Amino acid sequence: MKNHLISNTLLSSSILLILLFLELVFLEKIPGHYYTAVGFFFFTYIIQSILIYSFGRTPSSFNLIYNLTTMLKMLLSLSFLVIYFLVISKNSQTTETITFSTFFIIIYFIYLIVNTKLFFINKNE
């Protein structure tokens, strides 16, 4: 579980540093919901790893908890985007909405790939 905490912290920090770097380079303020999305993924994956390592002791319980938490992450991510579209995107332009949606999906897949590899590479945990 330490590997998950460390890797998710490093991944989130890296993404936040990239956002801050882009803000400095382009001299344009990046909206707060980009940073919120990174925090959202950080906390959902930390909660998933805590649940899996707490309840997934046997292979069948691991499969059940992993599948359940993966489905919950998908539903929470969908809810995050729906809330964004209903609340925030009304005040922004179409290009900003498309840009944020693309950012959200890319970050979703980055976290998914990193965490899936971590769950199945570390055989001793």
The pLDDT of residue 122:
61
- Whether the pLDDT of residue 8 is over 90: the answer is no
Alpha-carbon distances of 36 from 28, 84, 100, 107, rounded to whole Å: 18, 11, 11, 12
Q: Which residue range(s) make up the domain with 6?
A: 2-121
Q: What is the pLDDT of residues 19-74, one digit of tens each?
A: 999 999 988 888 888 999 999 999 998 888 888 888 878 888 888 888 899 899 99
The total domain count for the chain is 1
pLDDT band with cut points at 50, 70 and 90 for residue 109: very high
